[in-house]
Amino acid sequence: MMKKEDLNNFKLTELFLVKVDWGRTYFGEVKRSRNENGKSHLFGSADIDGHRIFASAETEDKLAEKLDILCILTLDYNI
C-alpha cells in the first residue's frame, strides 16, 4: 500500500496534438500554472522533426492555435 508521501514522486504530464494536417500531427506537452492573482497560464512545447517549438497562452484554444501556426512555419517555411 502506498503512503501519502509516496504520491509526491508522481509527475503528471498532459499531452495534446499539434497539427498542420492529419498527415502531419505531433504530440506536445502542456504545463499549467497560475499567477499571484489566480489567473491561469499555459505553456506548451512539441518536437517537430528535430525542432522544438514553444508557446504560451491564457486559454487552451489560443495555445493550440499558436502551436499549430508554429508547426506550419517550421515544416512549410523552415523557420
Contact criterion met (CB below 8 Å) for 13 and 29: yes
Q: What is the DSSP annotation of 57-70?
A: ESSHHHHHHHHHHH
Contact criterion met (CB below 8 Å) for 65 and 54: no
Give the start-to-end residue ranges of the domains of the chain. 30-79
Q: What is the pLDDT of residue 69?
A: 94
The mean pLDDT values, 10 residues at a time, for the chain of 79 residues are 65 84 90 89 94 94 93 92
**Amino acid at residue number 42:** L
Q: State pTM to two decimals.
A: 0.78
C-alpha cell at 31: 504545463
Q: What is the pLDDT of residue 58?
A: 92
C-alpha cell at 21: 494536417
